[in-house]
Every structure is written in C-alpha cells, then in structure tokens.
Amino acid sequence: MNEILTHRSAGVLTVSFNRAQRKNAITSSMYQTLTQTLQAAAQDSEVRVVLLQGDATVFTAGNDLGDFIDNPPLDAQAPVWRFLHALNDFPKPLIAAVCGVAVGIGTTLLLHCDLVYAASDARFSLPFVNLGVSPEGASSLLLPRLMGYPRAAEALLTGEPFDAEFALRAGLVNQLLPADQVQDWALTQAQKIAQKPAAAVAEAKRLLKRGVQGAVHACIDEEAQVFARLLQEDTAQTAIAGFSRRLR
C-alpha cells in the first residue's frame, strides 16, 4: 500500500497521508517520499499549487514512534529535516486541509503552508517537551511571530493540546469548516490559485517570504542539533518509549 498518495488535476497536486490505521503517523520512508514529491513539484511547470491532507478523520499523529526509535534523526541529513527544508524551500503555494488531530510535526509543518483550512473539531499538539526533546520545524522562530510570544510559549512549554478555535485566533489556520467540507473547500481554494498567472503567484510568495526564509533554514538546523542531543539522553529515551507503549 502506498502510504503517500498523489493526485494531479487542473494544476493542483494533492498529496495525501494514506496510513489511517496508524493515524497517518509518518515514517522515515514517508518523509523521503514527501521530500521527493515536493522537489519534483517545484520543477514541474504543470503543478501550480500543492495541497497536503490526511483523510476526513485524522491529519497526522506526527512521527511513527516505532520507526522513530529505530531510525532516530541524529544528523542534518535525516529524512525529517530534509522534508522540513523542502517545505521551507518550496516556491509555489502550499495549502493544508486538516481534519482530526495534527500532532508534533503535523502542526509544525502547517507553519510552512501558505493557507491552512481546518475542521472545527480539529486538535493540535506540540508535545516536544513532554517527550524530552526540543521544538522542531523552526517552530521556536515561527510560532512567536505568528501567535505572539505568550501563546507560543504556552503551546511549546506546556505541550498541551489546543483546539481549532485557539488555532484560528492565533493565526495558525485561515478558516474553520465542518469536517466533511474541509478537503473540498481547500481544493477549491487551490484550484482558484492555480488558475492565476503562475509567475505572479510565485513572486508574491517569494516577496511574502523574503527576509525570513534564510532565518527559518538556520533555525531548522539549530533545532535539529538540539533535538538530536536531547534525543540521546535518558529522559527522552524513557519518555518516548513510554508514550510508544501507551499507543499500542
């Protein structure tokens, strides 16, 4: 079974997590596929917009912890860090459709999307400190810029989940919709953008991102180094193993 599905139509490349039986938890091989898909889409003139989605019940539960334990991201070339850089480098509009839970990188990847539409009952979580590791995905840089420091600190220092209304007020998502309408709405918005002049859209995104893209790149790398160091300590090893057992 393909754990990442792609579908192309009218200039929109829809990329779907396809592992619902495991809450769309992401493995190293899935990160590699996602990175390759984004890099190919960046070079494909027929792809105008990329839409990221899970299914109607779950976006993604974040890292597959079993795979994560077996393949820890201990260097800058680890698939997860390459995926985050591919998101930051992607020159075309990225849209996300979020239903159900978005845990860990399921939330931090949204910081690299241009538009995010979510179900009114979606739930978001950044449980890094609870697992004994540090924030990733440049979330320590982007969350305070987006939400303001107090809200970002609450999300990252407590590791507690927050609901869709909080995400909307904080600016993480653009609009909330009923769960059965999210993906259709996101696709409609993607199709609207795909019909606009591609060069103008690309330049608009470049200008929106100017001044921050390099800082994001550096932050992803710094967070990855801290994450890898903490990941090798007993506190993180115990916390992650315990959390993994509870999921079984």
The three state secondary structure string of 68-114 is HHHCCCCCCCCHHHHHHHHHHHCCCCEEEEECCEEECHHHHHHHHCC
Locate 229 and state its tokens: 């160091």
Rounded to whole angstroms, the Cα distance separating 233 from 230 reads: 5
Q: What confidence score (pLDDT) does residue 153 get?
A: 97
pTM of the predicted structure, to 2 decimals:
0.96
Q: Which residues contact 241 (CB under 8 A, 6 or more apart)?
A: 69
Q: Report helix, strand or coil for 21.
A: helix
Residue keyed to tokens 């910081």? 111
- Give the homologous superfamily in CATH for domain 4-198: 2-enoyl-CoA Hydratase; Chain A, domain 1 (3.90.226.10)
**pLDDT confidence of residue 25:** 95
Res 247: pLDDT = 54
pLDDT in tens, the chain (248 residues): 799 999 999 999 999 999 999 999 999 999 999 999 999 999 999 999 999 999 999 999 999 988 888 888 999 899 999 999 999 999 999 999 999 999 999 999 999 999 999 999 999 999 999 999 999 999 999 999 999 999 999 999 999 999 999 999 999 999 999 999 999 999 999 999 999 999 999 999 999 999 899 999 999 999 999 999 999 999 998 888 877 666 55
pLDDT of residue 61: 95
